[in-house]
Amino acid sequence: MFFYAITEGIRVTAQPFFLPDHSDPQEPRYVFAYQIRIENVGTEPAQLRWRHWYIHDEGAGDSEVEGEGVIGEQPLIPSGGVHEYQSFCVLKGQRGHMEGYYEFERPGGATFRATIPRFLLQVYEG
């Protein structure tokens, strides 16, 4: 399932995956990966400077994570360009969600926040 949002010409698409081979219900430990695709569908380049995540874990409650860039990078995404990466999240509960924003900077120095859409993290049996 895909989740997406568009803010000021930046389309953020998230696709989460449950990883049963890395999870252990006895701990409890449920591991989810997610693929992020950031597309610049606007007319100006934008550089990703900061990330801020809100994480809801039905087993451990709410938390926030923030920091510079994504996966050690601060990509400059030209008009029509794409940046993709994959990361993961570990929950204590079988369900949760993530959402947040990326802070971008335009060439002239103006900044804006691009929404990271809420996406569901849920254990799928099978």
Give 126's pLDDT tier (boundaries 50, 70, 90). low
The per-residue pLDDT for range 6-57, each reduced to its tens digit, is 999 999 999 999 999 999 999 999 999 999 999 999 999 999 999 999 999 9
Give CA–CA dist 112/97, Å, rounded: 23
The answer on pLDDT for 5 being more than 70 is: yes
- 64: tokens are 């926030």
- Which residues are registered as beta bridge partners of 3? 14
Q: Class of the 3-122 domain?
A: mainly beta
Give 117's pLDDT tier (boundaries 50, 70, 90). very high
> Tell me, what amino acid is at 71?
I
User: ∠ at Cα 32 (26, 35), nearest 5°?
Assistant: 170
Enumerate the domain spans of the chain.
3-122
